[in-house]
Structure 1
């Protein structure tokens, strides 16, 4: 009982309207909105805001080994801090279609991790669609598909990795950013809390 309320508090304290979640977290969004509706019914005018789930087109990414879920403990993840060599090794090891033994063989894209990741990250959707059709017809090798994905991931992750390294190299700056963020978060949540207290007629109780 406490966990859904805690999740709802994390969202409503900031009056978030769009919440990025996986499809497995949709019930949490529904519960949050039920709590918001119930709380607002106690006020003379609405204080809390209902929210909407912000879903990605891909949903949950499979692990590079083809497992249904990426897990650090299983070693089937690709971190945003990954080096160029780590990205290369990860893509090279990605699960494809075990029945696609020859380039000329028709391949399956269902359950093929390379194509799932291409769908998620490649900016040229038309090119990915053409690759899928070619792969299913036969004549397109796994190595070509993996090279396309690796190029995409290298370009995507490189600036993130570099930005992360900048923060790590200057921990003073990092701590200052965290401090400012915490102060801003405290300011916003305290404002929401006071609005809720006033709405309940409890402006002088439980001051923080």
Structure 2
């Protein structure tokens, strides 16, 4: 534990700290269904794009470009994506939709993991690919206000913790521990809101 703390202190970065704070702000605002979450997401994402590239997490770096686009899309969807240009409401997916979505993530992760392992020096290419494609799906679910997005994030965030520890991104690892707690709370909060509006 002492060595972990020493490594974290040696690798401390104000950029990483800023991205972490903005990432937490994004999730807390998303739990409250606040449009401001998308501004925090865009700022955090822009910083992480460069941080991940710097430590050879190629897929994670590329994911940040997608996140930037999704910040704009999510803002628009939450503001005008509902019926008659009203704010978007929380919805749920069927079991069939989940099975299709998970299958697509596994196929995409396998394909990109293989390509990365054969053609690049990417670190942990299969785990990097799985968390990336899972995050692509889960972020789209957040933008569409699909309740189960929070459950997907629990799995993705738990795996990401190992990925970031391996790369020495200790503040980002801590961020993802916090994300797990917030995802549990987010699911509970959105589920309460969903039940109130669908009874």
* TM-score for both structures, normalised by structure 1: 0.26
* TM-score for both structures, normalised by structure 2: 0.27
Larger radius of gyration: 1
